[in-house]
Amino acid sequence: MKISEMLKTRRTVSFEFFPPKKEEGENVLYETIKELVDYKPDFVSVTYGAGGSTQEKTVEWTTHIKKVHGLTTMMHLTCVAADEDSIDRITGAVDAINVQNLLALRGDYPADMPIEQRGGKFRYASDLVAYLRKKHGDKYCLGVAGYPEGHPEASGMDADIENLKRKLDAGGDFIISQLFFDNEHYFRYMDRLEKAGITAPVVAGIMPIINIAQVVRFTQMCGATVPQYLVEKMDGKSEKNQFMTGVEYAVEQCRGLLAAGVAGLHFYTLNKHGATEAVLDRIR
Ligand SMILES: Cc1cc2nc3c(=O)[nH]c(=O)nc-3n(C[C@H](O)[C@H](O)[C@H](O)COP(=O)(O)OP(=O)(O)OC[C@H]3O[C@@H](n4cnc5c(N)ncnc54)[C@H](O)[C@@H]3O)c2cc1C
């Protein structure tokens, strides 16, 4: 089923997984998916390695989740360093497993890619959305990424929202947000989108924090911020203590978003099930 159709009738709950590189990680992910299936997600998504390392794995995991668990799936697809042939190969694989939902992304350039080789046919995610729509019409439901705190490369929030609008005008159906930890960022973002005439649903990206040091490192790269008081509360605390604080915080965050009428909650699971389960047990 297309996610855009679901979003017309209900608030979605979804989970994001990434394809592990090692066998040990794969075993963890098999277990994680088995556990989380019981929570009946509206859809699950599988990330795609822009650098090329795990692209086949993305198709394999998407196939596994769809065939073994019968879940609606969305495959992420990035376009940096891609050409029409490589995108066509991937959509061919997607069609073979009858996946109707794609998250159309630019991705990040590999650090070792020379500047002169960057750009090309697909410079921005909007180019990928336009290509997919031109070639495939309405076959796919296309999600795009949005950044409540702005994308790190954007010259400002207004420019970033203009660029988001380009993706939607090219044929994007809905938005999944970058993770954020302060709902005020999301609420301000929604106000700005409304002023810019953007009406597409925005599914909120949620990451329950279970290891504050790891999340602080990770968010520095993607431009999201962690509230300082949360860092101070969790830093140096035991694993169990951080887990409980992180879950409690995410529960309150989700409750606030649900009360404000959020379109859906998309959990960045990091391939673990405990924290996502604990949050859902409390909010459902
Ligand atoms: C929900 C979600 C899932 C993700 N999944 C993955 C994944 O599976 N694999 C992965 O590698 N990465 C993933 N990412 C990270 C993403 O690839 C990076 O954030 C990347 O830097 C930007 O991708 P984008 O699709 O938002 O790019 P774009 O929308 O192309 O934007 C990139 C930058 O260019 C600017 N821009 C866009 N259009 C124009 C224009 N016409 N002129 C000038 N500037 C412009 C934007 O403002 C922004 O600063 C994900 C991010 C999110 C939020």
Q: What is the pLDDT of residue 168?
A: 98
How much distance in Å is there from the Cα of 149 to the middle of ligand 1? 13
The pair phi, psi for residue 142, each rounded to 5°, is -115, 120
Q: With a 6 A CB cut-off, is 242 part of the ligand 1 pocket? A: no
- Distance of alpha carbon 72 from its chain centroid, rounded? 15
Ligand 1 atom nearest to CA at 104: 25
CB 143 within 8 A of CB 74: yes
Its sign, for the CA torsion 252, 187, 11, 16, is negative
Q: How far is CA 205 from CA 85, 132, 157, 214, 266, in A?
A: 31, 24, 18, 17, 5
pLDDT single digits (tens) 81-106: 899 999 999 999 999 999 999 999 99
Q: With a 6 A CB cut-off, is 13 part of the ligand 1 pocket? A: no
Domains and CATH numbers, the chain: 3-283 (3.20.20.220)
Q: What is the pLDDT of residue 101?
A: 98
Q: How far apart are CA 248 and CA 278, in angstroms?
A: 9
Q: How far is CA 15 from CA 55, 135, 156, 222, in A?
A: 19, 29, 30, 19
Q: Which value, to the nearest 10 degrees, does the dihedral of the CA atoms of residues 132, 133, 139, 143 take?
A: 70
At CA 206, angle to CA 203 and CA 208, rounded to 5? 165
Query: Any bridge partners for residue 78, and if so which?
Result: 105
Q: What is the pLDDT of residue 19?
A: 97
Written as six digits, the tokens of 273 are 């099930």
Burial 86-111 (b: 16+ CB within 10 A, else e): ebeebbebbeebebbbbbbbbbebee
Q: What is the pLDDT of residue 156?
A: 97
Q: What is the pLDDT of residue 175?
A: 99
Q: How far apart are CA 163 and CA 168, in angstroms?
A: 9
> For residue 105, what are the contacts with CB-CB under 8 A and spacing of at least 6?
48, 50, 76, 77, 78, 79, 125, 128, 144, 145
Ligand 1 atom nearest to CA at 144: 25
Q: What is the pLDDT of residue 116?
A: 76
Q: What is the pLDDT of residue 52?
A: 67
Give the residues of the chain that fall short of pLDDT 70. Answer: 51-52
Report the candidate in 177, 173, 176, 150 with the shortest Cα–Cα distance to residue 161.
150
Q: With a 6 A CB cut-off, is 47 part of the ligand 1 pocket? A: yes
